[in-house]
Amino acid sequence: MNAIISAPELADELAGPTPPVLLDVRWQLSAAKAAGAPPFDGRAEHAAGHLPGAVYVDLDRELAAAPGAGGRHPLPDVAEFGAAMRRAGVSSGRPVVVYDGGQGWAAARAWWLLRWTGHPNVRVLDGGLPSWEGPLSTDAPTPAEGDFEPVPGESGLLDADGAAALARSGVLFDARAGERYRGDVEPIDPVGGHIPGAVSAPTTENVAADGRFLAADELRARFETLGATGDGEVGVYCGSGVSGAHEVLALAVAGIPAALYAGSWSQWSSDPSRPVAVGPEPQ
């Protein structure tokens, strides 16, 4: 099953006998507000217009725990995550489609969490809300309670030690911007640089100008050039486990399974005992 769905395909499925549950996960990185811009309010954006029937899901409150030792967006408590998904109408036997404002990062976080906890049929709307040409709704949805019971997978998730080991034994991608990987700048976390051995692979390079993913063969060629041929283990991290999920999604589109280091650089860099590499090379 493809991990993404186009807007025309989604329109067809919504008109069919088993329409998917729709989750609206519009979100922006908090640091983007530092320049004095008004705070982003996903609920207000949702209320102003959303795909008909879509339920708003708050990334900071329902797809992550409070910031702390686990990083800026630690994984949520599994029971609380399950309750949030059931409130949104998610059931194991019904497809789910997730979308955001077009960047794809927040939608990918929801996709990854649902897949990692056992939902068999989750896709991301390629290009997000801007790709949708159908009507929008301002009605407040009232979904029936779902039955989804999350069961975390035994694979697909890395901790700090696992990420460090994978950087030596397999391929560990750093999905952040190149200047943060190199350590030229670090606008959010305590120190710039990267996990020693990690390969720079900004997830922004996995999409076209309109926010849609590159074709599967293009993505696979990109990742193979960077060392992920599909034969060995692959992992991804980013700043806090959000844009990294987007790269895991891109790898899935390319047919390459990958694990996510959810704590990512925000967790790694908070411990001064962990090594930090700088510059353009993995080291």
Q: Which residues form the catalytic set?
A: 238
Q: Give the other-Cβ count within 10 Å of 175's Cβ.
A: 30
CA distance 157 to 21: 25
DSSP codes of every residue in 222-242: HHHHTT--SSS-EEEE-SSSS
Structure token pair of residue 95: 């497809």
For residue 111, give the 3-state DSSP assignment: helix
Q: Exposed, middle or buried by CB within 10 Å (0-12, 13-18, 19+), for 198? A: buried
User: Bridge-partner residues for 14, per DSSP?
Assistant: none
For residue 63, give the 3-state DSSP assignment: coil
